[in-house]
Homo-oligomer: A and B are copies of this chain.
Amino acid sequence: MATIFAVGVGPGDPELLTRKAERVLRQADVILAPVSNPSEASVALATIRGFLDESRQEVIVHQFPMTSDKARLLHAWQEAAALIAVRAEDGKDVAFVTIGDPLFYSTFIYLQRILREICPQIPIEIVPGISSVNAAAAAAGIPLVEADEKMAVIPATAGVEKIAEALARFETVVLLKVKPVFGDILELIRQTGREQSTVFVERVGSDRQKVLTDFAEIAAHAPDYLSLMIIRCSC
């Protein structure tokens, strides 16, 4: 029977794919890659293009709009799930590719729910990928957590109070999507005295990767949408 694969391709550097991801992508009959804007290239597809044989494999680029409109999002997921299900039911192995890891803030989580409803008989295999958190720590060369330390991962969009709470309780706080509340975050870091143990990483794994460790430089920077911060305790 055909299998549906969710393949984490890591942060965007083709060398950070796992060997398993490479094998699955070379063997799959169909590759479905997400794009948020039809005028832009798919980052996931750009990362894996070197492993594909487009004369043999069907490559579909599907748009998942960047919107908070639930109805539009659901429509995009349902369309993608249908594209996958019809091919898998036809006996074809389909690989859905996702930046980072498929179960860590990825569109695949929604797709998986729909797929389990519309084609419960088709097995889904997850190929984990290097998440932006591990990739950013590696790029900056700074530890995430050691020994009995605790780590909180928070999308900054969850709100400034949640960030403040985590800073009070966790040795390491990783903030994702920092752009919309960047000023508030900088203020919290100053208040908690963590200026010297904060790292800012933008577009990790890409040609445009930026790693800032100097707090004055971080504070002067206008962050990109794909930015994260690792805030360590100053103890």
Which residues on A are within 8 Å of B, measured CB to CB? 8, 10, 13-20, 22-23, 101-106, 109-110, 112, 124, 126-131, 134-135, 137-139, 141-155, 157-158, 162, 165-166, 169-170
Residue pair B15, A23 in contact (C-beta under 8 Å) = yes
Residue pair B148, A151 in contact (C-beta under 8 Å) = no
Residue pair B143, A135 in contact (C-beta under 8 Å) = no
User: Quick one: copies of this chain in the complex?
Assistant: 2
Q: How far is the CB of A163 from chain B (nearest CB, A)?
A: 10
Residue pair A144, B23 in contact (C-beta under 8 Å) = no
- Complex formed: what's the CA distance from A110 to B146 in Å? 9
A14: chain B residues at CB < 8 Å are: 19
The answer, among B103, B150, B155, for a CB contact under 8 Å with A137, is B103
A101: chain B residues at CB < 8 Å are: 134, 137-138, 144
A165: chain B residues at CB < 8 Å are: 169
Provided the pairs A17-B19, A129-B134 are in contact, do residues A170 and B152 lie with their beta carbons within 8 angstroms? yes
A152: chain B residues at CB < 8 Å are: 150-153, 170
A145: chain B residues at CB < 8 Å are: 104-105, 153
